[in-house]
Amino acid sequence: YRPSSVVNNRGKSASDQVIVQADYTHPIGENAKLEGGLRSYHNIFKSTYDAFAIDNGQSQKLPLSNNYEYNEMVNALYGTYSNKIGKFSYQVGLRAEYSRFRGLLVDSARKFGYEYPAAIRNIWDALFPSLFLTRELGEDDQLQVNYSRRIRRPNFWQLNPFIDINDPANLRQGNPLLKPEFINSFELNYSHNYKSGNWLAVLYFRNNPNDITQYSDTITTQLYEQLQNAGVSPNAILNTWVNASTTNRYGAEFTVQQKIGKNFDITPTVNMQYRTVKARINDQDLSNEGFNWEAELTMNYKIDARQALWNGLGFQLLGEYESAEVIPQGKQKPQYSVDFAMRKDFLKGNKATVTFSVNDVFNTARWGTIYDTENFYQDSYRRWSVRSFRLTLSYKFGKSDFSLSNKKRDSEADD
């Protein structure tokens, strides 16, 4: 088999980021403290990706091409006051934030983005209070009640209206009308310390107005005709993002940190949750509810002084499991993975470190969904990454640590 044309791709990207941050701390008496600060984040990103079909010396630009740029800005001010009176302590805080995202699809000149707060009447969207009340119950026990309000802003791909047709049967498109979601979190925590470890029990309620969630539907006839030259299936599913009315999470979490012997420690965590989602999209009631749970287990072991070669060699094993979880149109499938790492410090003063790690040891990490709607039923899996091996060597120069390899880090948009 030989394709009728050759596809030629070319692209590049550039990013300019500026972060300005200042923090201030002022002790008041023996136990009180006043803190404040500001942070300004600016990011200008440009990307070009062009795909051309070359046939008999003639080139034609394909719908796979995606040229875009965006300007992201987040400015924030915060202040907190904390104090301790006997066995009782408290902290009250407030953060004010202005955020703006402006995107542009260069080829179509289509603009998208958001601004919060958009007007003075929406000032509550810019304010994020927090309150922590803590009571010591003896030397080893502590009770805490807290409340906080946070924001999770949609990322670029959730906003980008460009239609991704890499999978002709499952198209992906961002929603330029997507709004940030907010999280109102209430927690009751109880912690206890003992000789060989500690445990923490948490009861929580989290209310998420404008919860950002996935939405899928069959493509319209108009969209199919628009993409007809791209080889898209007429029964393709279009996956996008929408804001649910609200999502409530009622749950409990229990964590134990236990030391076993001199060199081994184990940290299991179990989180149980009941979730209710209220959503109405395109005159469809997509509300759903259900129970889910997740567990995590971390184990660390370090060899003590036995032989010079093995002295200080450390091992870590991390396992995670998440049960099925309800979403407006169905559920997310269970997922699980195991990571492993070993580390050895050497040279005088342990200035050099070599680390070997395996991400997703059993190659099981995948993200699956089941959509069960009036228009279609879909059972699918996706993989964002596969099992990987990493060898890292680092050396400390004075108090600095210059790593000789870079590790990809995930970042959250929660503030």
Could you give the CA distance from residue 71 to residue 109 in angstroms, rounded to a whole number? 15
Q: Name residue 387's amino acid.
A: R
The pLDDT profile of the chain, 415 residues, written as one tens digit per residue, is 234 456 677 778 888 999 999 999 999 989 999 999 999 999 999 988 777 777 766 777 666 677 889 999 999 999 999 999 999 999 999 999 999 999 888 888 888 888 888 778 888 889 999 999 999 998 899 999 999 999 999 988 898 888 887 788 888 888 988 889 999 999 999 999 999 999 999 999 999 999 999 899 888 888 877 776 567 778 888 999 999 999 999 999 999 999 998 889 999 999 999 999 999 888 888 899 999 999 999 999 988 766 566 677 889 999 999 999 998 888 999 999 999 999 988 777 777 889 999 999 999 988 888 988 888 888 888 887 789 999 998 887 765 544 434 444 444 446 6
Cβ contact 80:120 at 8 Å:
no
Instruction: Return the biggest CA–CA distance within the chain.
Output: 84
Residue closest to 142 by CA, chosen among 202, 91, 205: 202
pTM over 0.85: no
Specify the DSSP class assigned to residue 107.
T
Could you give the CA distance from residue 255 to residue 201 in angstroms, rounded to a whole number? 7
Contacts 24+ apart (CB under 8 A), 252-256: 252/201, 252/202, 252/203, 252/204, 253/200, 253/201, 253/202, 253/204, 254/199, 254/200, 254/201, 254/202, 255/199, 255/200, 256/197, 256/198, 256/199
Residue closest to 75 by CA, chosen among 32, 43, 104: 43
Name the residue ranges covered by the structural domains of the chain: 6-283+322-329
Residue 388: count other Cβ atoms within 10 Å of its Cβ: 11
Query: Domain spanning 6-283+322-329 has what CATH number?
Result: 2.40.170.20
Could you give the CA distance from residue 368 to residue 382 in angstroms, rounded to a whole number? 6
Cβ contact 211:179 at 8 Å:
no
pLDDT of residue 308: 60
Cβ contact 180:100 at 8 Å:
no
- The answer for residues whose C-beta is within 8 angstroms of residue 168's C-beta and 6 or more apart is 230, 231, 232, 233, 236
> What phi-psi label fits residue 165: left (phi over 0), alpha (psi between -120 and 50 degrees) or beta?
alpha
Residue 275: count other Cβ atoms within 10 Å of its Cβ: 19
Cβ contact 208:173 at 8 Å:
no
Sign of CA dihedral 171, 172, 178, 180: positive
Q: How many helices (H) and strands (E) does the chain have?
A: 2, 28
